[in-house]
Amino acid sequence: MFQTSFSYDALPMRVRFGAGSVASLPTEVERLEARRALVLCSPEQKRTGEAIANALGDLSAGVLAEARMHVPVEVARHARDRAAELGADACVAVGGGSAIGLGKAIALEHDLPVIAVPTTYAGSEMTAVWGLTEDGRKRTGKDPRVLPAGVLYDPELTLGLPVGMSVTSGFNAVAHAVEALYAPDRSPIISLMAEEGVRAMAGALPAVAADGGDLDARTQALYASWLCGACLGATTMSLHHKLCHALGGTLDLPHSETHTIVLPYALAYNQPAAPDAAEALSRALAAPDPAHRLWDLAGSLGAPRSLRDLGVAEGDLGPLARQVVDAPYANPAPVTLDGVTRLLRAAWNGEPPRVEP
């Protein structure tokens, strides 16, 4: 059914897309009237971060290779202090959600503009959502100050992303679009982007898995991640993200793998209550049951499909379900303790997702 009343906020950022676009980074830093940009990355991406800093030349304030998953608050505090010590007036976040999340933490404290250079498909660069983990709990919020001022999508930088990580990162992106299709603040514009993002990513991932050096497939996947991330940035998160925040923040699970495992089960939970979203996903995935299709696709690409395989103990499920139910996000289907417990148990076992009427 077409929505006849809605609102849509365009995000104020500049995006450059295409192979080789990272060469324009100095120009983008100067466009912000910045003179000392601190390059942020994870320890694994240190070599890439140093190459970016070298390309910036005199515009670089150095490299901080300390980004970690779920942005632990102690890491964020050290990064904020380091940025102040170096006199940084901008940040360039290179990598996935961990690096970009660290840039957002600095922006939240010091109002420094962030330029994101994504090398995964996480999509954080398209949102004003920040997250910090402290004492085993992940807090999230929205603040326009943390929205990157610029994004450089260069598919050549994703060629080194291992195939397994590429697949799970792609599923992470798909999760953003899936939830946007049934978000309470969705719009026809976002729904179009979400459906196209899912279609493009589902088409790109098998080609990426077959040949990680396929630049055309990498370009399509990065395009899809842009669309999916923009959907996340424009809508309210639902049960899927609440589950992943609880799992990641409490158990320090790998981010994209957790999203990959949880997505089919969260979608199956919501499909009966979101028929328009299910119809759009059926078109995008060319399948009558989108939840089962995503579970099948993950398996065919060698992605994990069980929380047990990530080290989650059976005894963790009850407290996690209670955490989710005690502070739920907006969701089309009622979030009940029994329902969430059954969802988590199915995901823990890795059994095929079942859509219940």
pLDDT of residue 11: 74
Q: Token pair for residue 207?
A: 């080609």
Residue 311's identity, in one-letter code, is G
Domain assignment present for residue 2? The answer is no
Q: Answer yes or no: do 141 and 178 share one domain.
A: no
Candidates 319, 311, 313; CA nearest to 340 is: 319
Structural domain ending residue among the three candidates 158, 176, 209:
158
CB 317 within 8 A of CB 348: yes
Same domain, 70 and 168: no
In a domain, 3, yes or no: no
DSSP SS3 for 112? coil
For residues 14 and 150, the answer to whether their CB atoms sit within 8 Å is yes
In a shared domain, residues 209 and 270: yes
Does pTM top 0.85 for this prediction? yes
1 in any annotated domain: no
Q: Which of 108, 124, 158 is the last residue of a domain?
A: 158
Structural domain includes residue 341: yes
One-letter identity of residue 30 = E
- In Å, how far from its chain's centre is CA 68? 14
Q: Comparing C-alpha atoms, which of 183, 222, 185 is closest to residue 205?
A: 222
Nearest to 66 by CA among 81, 56, 51: 81
Is-contact 200 187, C-beta < 8 A? no
Q: Is residue 354 part of a domain?
A: no
Please give the pLDDT value at position 242. Answer: 96
Please tell me the distance from the alpha carbon of residue 318 to that of residue 341, in angstroms, as a whole number.
7
List the CATH number of the domain containing 29: 3.40.50.1970
Residue at 5 is within a domain? no
What is the spatial distance between Cα 212 and Cα 208, in angstroms, rounded to a whole number? Answer: 5
Are 65 and 152 in the same domain?
A: yes
Question: Which residues have a Cβ under 8 Å from the Cβ of 161 and sit 6 or more positions away?
Answer: 119, 120, 169, 212
* Integer angstrom CA distances of residue 137 from 129, 130, 213, 334: 16, 14, 38, 23
How many whole angstroms separate alpha carbon 322 and alpha carbon 315?
Answer: 12
- Written as six digits, the tokens of 50 are 């140093």
Last-in-domain residue among 158, 191, 218: 158
* Domain span at 294: 163-349
Residue 318: which CATH number?
1.20.1090.10
Give the chain's domain count: 2
Predicted pLDDT at 138: 80
* Co-location of 293 and 208 in the same domain: yes
The answer to whether the beta carbons of residues 1 and 276 sit under 8 Å apart is yes
Answer whether residue 149 is part of any domain.
Answer: yes
Low-confidence ranges of the chain (pLDDT < 70): 1-2, 4
The CA distance from 30 to 83, in Å, is 18
Q: Which residues of 11-35 are buried (b: 16+ CB within 10 A; e: fewer)?
A: eebebbeeeebbeebeebbeebebe
A 10 A CB-CB count for 67 gives 28
* Whether 153 and 63 share a structural domain: yes
Specify whether 192 is located in the same domain as 258. yes
Q: Is residue 70 part of a domain?
A: yes
Q: Specify whether 148 is located in the same domain as 171.
A: no
85 and 138 housed in the same domain? yes
